[in-house]
A and B are shown apart, each in its own frame.
Chain A
Amino acid sequence: MAKTLPKVDVVIVGVGWGGGIIASELTKNGLTVVGLERGKERKTEDYYMVHDELRYALRYELMQDLSKETVTFRSNEKIRALPMRQYGSFLIGTGLGGAGVHWNGQTFRFLPYDFQIRSKTAERYGANKILRKCRFRTGALRTTSSNRTTINSRKWSAFPANRTRLAESAPPVTRRRR
């Protein structure tokens, strides 16, 4: 039976870096945020056997179970998009922290373009393509689909514990108001 929960300002589905940073910024700005995460919460103690290369690096224990859900892809429009049946070059995270739980800890230098996204976008597509009435300050967020999200690991490890509480079936979660 559907249970009605208290209304919140923002619901974020998926609490990886993207969802996590957004939650952090929104709550800093006084909004109430709920994060929904499909995976379980994970702690350091869960990785006692983490040096098991077969289990983690070759059998992808930490990645999304592709039998349940995968993506389709193709390299150009001329071929048929097919499901990624097994892991290859990119790995889909799952559980609290998402792919940030097993990233490699490399942080890349910003490219000049990173500081010009707004002006270059306006230049190319017109200023009206940029959402202007944005109630939330999202300018500080830099989450892209590429490898260029920048958070350092210290911040990262500090993040889940105090910002987010997770439950697998029962939704609710972050509540922070200032």
Chain B
Amino acid sequence: MDNRDNNDKPGKPKVDQPSRRKFLINTGYVLGGAVVGGAIGALARKPLAPAPAPAKPSAPAAAEPRNFNRALMFFNQEQFGILNAAVERLFPADENGPGAKDLGVAYFIDHQLAGDYGFNARDYMSPPFYAGEKVQGYQGRLKRREIYEIGLREMDNYSQAQYGKGFAQLTGDQQDAVLKAFESDQVKLTTISASGFFRQLLSNTLEGAYSDPLYGGNINMAGWTMRNYPGNQMSYANIIDKDFTKMPPSSLQDHMTAH
């Protein structure tokens, strides 16, 4: 089940356009690499090789029918605006397919933070708190939802200080500069780690792009389609000994009717 290390299959076509998605490649985190707890904090992770799908005409999501499942559970509008702009820079729409905005990534993050994950409900959050070594993982007392609130506010503050505008109003290049300043801890914060927040944001962005649409992101499985990823098939028994088989992705929803 734990296949986080299996992202680098040999023979995968590489994206070699100088796309903005390179930014993502260069940050060097694997899908779902939020796991810095336990004893691996210091281990390097394999770089993500995103979007190996053959280049497709950038397809902006078709106008969708009104979706009553789509509203905010946690963020206010302003926070959501900052987040939506930020995730689109981390996972931009380009020739490979839709970006984070069209995939609903910010909704995914909003919904995650509204529940157990945002409250760190299954993490050990009791005192005493001590600063630990990197290998000892997260030792803070702040919950993920609190980290997000602080992080987004600080991104906006930094944008104001640098450019006299809020993050969402900046140009793409300026937004990248802000994100990079966080990523490299050029921004000094007293409350949270700027780079820690950046990593959290990046991990959750990738989760939102590639986890089951059930959670609000990866709309219409477009994140999977973009990568030729078959989603969660019940079985590969029929094709396991055949040559590579292309198939339309299937979601958890498909399992509800499969049997």
Using a CB–CB distance below 8 Å, which chain A residues touch chain B? 48-54, 56-60, 65-67, 70, 73-75, 79-80, 82-91, 102, 104
Contact = CB atoms under 8 A, between A and B. Distances in A.
A14 to B, nearest CB: 20
A67 B125 CA distance: 7
B34 interface: yes
Given A52-B252, A88-B40, A60 B122 contact: yes
Interface string B125-151: 110001011011111000000000000
19 contacts: A49-B255, A53-B212, A53-B232, A54-B212, A58-B211, A66-B124, A70-B124, A73-B136, A74-B136, A75-B39, A79-B136, A83-B124, A86-B36, A88-B38, A88-B41, A89-B39, A91-B2, A102-B1, A104-B2
B1 A104 contact: yes
Interface of B: 1-4, 32, 34-41, 43, 117, 120-126, 130, 132-133, 135-139, 207, 211-212, 214-215, 231-234, 252, 255
Contacts of A51: 231-234, 252, 255
B113 to A, nearest CB: 13
Nearest to A53: B211
Contacts of B137: 84-86, 88
B123 to A, nearest CB: 5
A75 B43 CA distance: 14
Contacts of B43: 89
A87 B1 contact: no
Contacts of B212: 52-54
A86 B37 contact: yes
Contacts of B135: 75
Contacts of A52: 211-212, 214, 232, 252
Nearest to A64: B122
A42 B56 CA distance: 44
The 7 closest A-B pairs by CB, nearest first: A88-B38, A51-B232, A86-B37, A54-B211, A88-B37, A89-B40, A70-B124
B229 to A, nearest CB: 11
Given A49-B255, A73-B39, A84-B136, 4 more contacts: A54-B32, A57-B4, A85-B37, A88-B37
Nearest to B233: A51
Given A82-B130, A89-B39, A54 B207 contact: yes
B125 A85 contact: yes
Contacts of B122: 59-60, 65-67
A89 to B, nearest CB: 4
Contact of A67 (B117, B124, B130, B133): B124
Contacts of B252: 49, 51-52
Contact of B39 (A65, A66, A88, A104): A88
A54 B35 CA distance: 12
A57 B3 CA distance: 8
A53 B232 CA distance: 9
A65 B40 CA distance: 19
Contacts of A83: 124, 126
Contacts of B123: 66-67, 85-86
B221 to A, nearest CB: 13
A178 B3 CA distance: 43
Nearest to A70: B124
A60 B121 CA distance: 12
B207 A58 contact: yes
A48 B123 CA distance: 25
A104 B3 CA distance: 9
A75 B134 CA distance: 11
A77 to B, nearest CB: 13
Contacts of B38: 84, 86-90
Contact of B1 (A56, A74, A90): A56
B138 A57 contact: no
Given A52-B252, A82-B139, A57 B1 contact: yes
Q: Which of A59, A73, A83, A84 has the most CB of B within 10 A?
A: A83
